[in-house]
Every structure is written in structure tokens, then in C-alpha cells.
Amino acid sequence: MAQTSIASYFNTR
Amino acid sequence: MFEARLNAATTLKKVLDAIKDLLNEATFDCSDAGIQLQAMDNSHVSLVSLTLRSDGFDKFRCDRNLSMGMNLGSMSKILKCANNEDTVTMKAQDNADTVTFMFESQNHEKVSDYEMKLMNLDQEHLGIPETDYSCVVRMPAMEFARICRDLSQFGESVIICCTKEGVKFSASGDVGSANIKLAQTSSVDKEEEAVTIEMQEPVSLTFACRYLNAFTKATPLSNQVQLSMSADVPLVVEYRIPDLGHIRYYLAPKIEE
């Protein structure tokens, strides 16, 4: 299974 | 001028213990609302969000918004020098490049101060949207820590499966497999011992054990932990810090390749 970056779920402010 | 005082250093020690395994350094954003910290762990798989409200401090003054980048290893060295019952005061001048930690014993006979250099950290802030989660589980924080510890012996991942009947934690690997089911408690004498589940839709998600275990370092801060889950979005593990704020950990689920 792959682990994605948390940043890909949230917008950069 | 920034000044924040807590009557017991133990609280700040526990907060630091809850984040220092995930983060080497972090920026403490101070305003008149309190102290906020948001940072991704080194591998960018999880996010830590800490809120300490100004009204939870025994004294709080922040004339100008201030961002203090701190090395958490250095901060940990300094906080080890405080006794749990000591009063702790953090102080910084506006635009300062240092922060001072002052510890005062209960009988006021010993006062120590430690000045720490601040760091300029270039950290991106992530906008976390308000989300209605499919499942919200509240359970004793010690129980969650125990489950994470026990299951990490069996595999690198934990599957959390939540239905209206209960929540199931599973792991499997070379040794075999393990399943722990918790039902919603029907009646409890103490609120902190309750397991409650609010479910809109059942969910089943897979998470890395090592991060869940890292989050449980916050267990001494709170009797209860709250797990919020929806399909394909990060898990939120929240510990409320009584009368002071909360720490939330966000963890990206593992997905099929």
C-alpha cells in the first residue's frame, strides 16, 4: 500500500 | 513583548513530549489569542496542529504577533531542567532572536532562567478545511495507546473499521493476525471511561502504526482521545488539553497502489 503526503490533502495557505 | 506563564511546568513538558518525536523543530505562532503550532513531520505523512488558548495560561501577554522557530531538542533539554511543579514563564521581546524560559520553585526560593536561540524556519502553513466526518469515535486515551502498542507487534499497518456496532482495529503480518473490537459503552460511571461512536456512514481505513504510536505520546495530556474518519481523507486524532486547548494529529491513510 502506498503512503501519500499529508500536504496533498490540504491547501497551501 | 511576549510573556506566557503556566503554574505547572508539567503541562508544557507533556505538550513537548507529544510533538518532539514527530518534529525536530517548529514555529510557535503567538498572538493575543494564544499559541498555535502547525507542522508536518519530517516525512510529510502527518501534520501536528497545537492550540494553546491565552485564557488557559495563568498570565498571558502578547503585544505583537510573534513567530518563534524553536529547535524542539533544545527546548526539551531546557524543560528537563524544570521540576513538574515549577511555574514556567516564556518570555520574548518583539523581534527578538531568543526566547527565555524562567522556572520558579513553589516556595519561590529557586529561580532559574534559560535563554534559547530562535530559528528562522521557512514552514508552509496548510489550510485545513472544516469537515463533517463519517465516523467520530471517542475512547479512553490509555485504551487507544494500548491498542496501537499491541497491534504494532503484528504489522506495520492498522486497519480501523468503524460501524454503528463498534470500532475494530486490525493488524496482520508474519506472526499472524490480530483484531481488537470495542463496542460503544452502554453505561459507565465515569465519562472518561466511555467509548462513544457517532456514525453517518461506516468507514474502513488503513494507517501506519508508527505514526499512530507517535500520536499516543499525547496520552498524558487527556483522558479521552477522539478519532475522526471519512473515506479517503486524513484521520484526525485529537487530544483535548483541559482548560488550555488541544493537539490534533492528521494522518494520511494508506491507499492501494
Residue numbers in B near A6 (CB within 8 A): 40, 44-47, 126, 234, 250-252
Please report the pLDDT score of residue B135 as a whole number.
Answer: 97
3 state DSSP class of B20: coil
**Cα dist. B74→B10, B105, B119, B219, B245 in Å?**
17, 22, 11, 22, 24
Query: By mean pLDDT, which of A6-10, B9-13, B123-127 is the weakest?
Result: B123-127
List Cβ neighbours of B7 (8 Å cut-off, separation of 6 or more).
B58, B87
Please report the pLDDT score of residue A13 as a whole number.
Answer: 57
Question: Looking at CA atoms only, how far is residue A10 from chain B in angstroms?
Answer: 6
Spatial contact of B40 and B128, defined as CB atoms under 8 Å apart: no
Q: What is the pLDDT of residues B148-181, one digit of tens each?
A: 999 999 999 999 999 988 999 999 999 999 999 9
Please report the pLDDT score of residue B50 as a whole number.
Answer: 98
For chain A, the residues whose C-beta falls within 8 A of a C-beta of chain B are 1-13
Q: What is the pLDDT of residues B18-75, one digit of tens each?
A: 999 999 999 999 999 999 999 999 899 999 999 999 999 999 999 999 999 999 999 9
ipTM: 0.91
Residue numbers in B near A13 (CB within 8 A): 124-127
DSSP notation for B67-115: EEEEEHHHHHHHHTTS-TTSEEEEEE-TT-SEEEEEEE-TTS--EEEEE
Residue numbers in B near A2 (CB within 8 A): 254-257
Spatial contact of B110 and B36, defined as CB atoms under 8 Å apart: no
Closest B-chain CA to A11: B127
CB contact under 8 A, A13 and B127: yes
Whether residue B94 has pLDDT greater than 90 = no
Question: Looking at CA atoms only, how far is residue B157 from chain A in angstroms?
Answer: 9
Closest A-chain CA to B235: A6
Cα–Cα distance between B254 and B251 in angstroms, integer? 9
Please tell me which of the candidates A1, A5, A13 has its beta carbon nearest to residue B44.
A5
Q: What is the pLDDT of residues B180-234, one digit of tens each?
A: 999 999 877 888 899 999 999 999 999 999 999 999 999 999 999 999 999 999 9
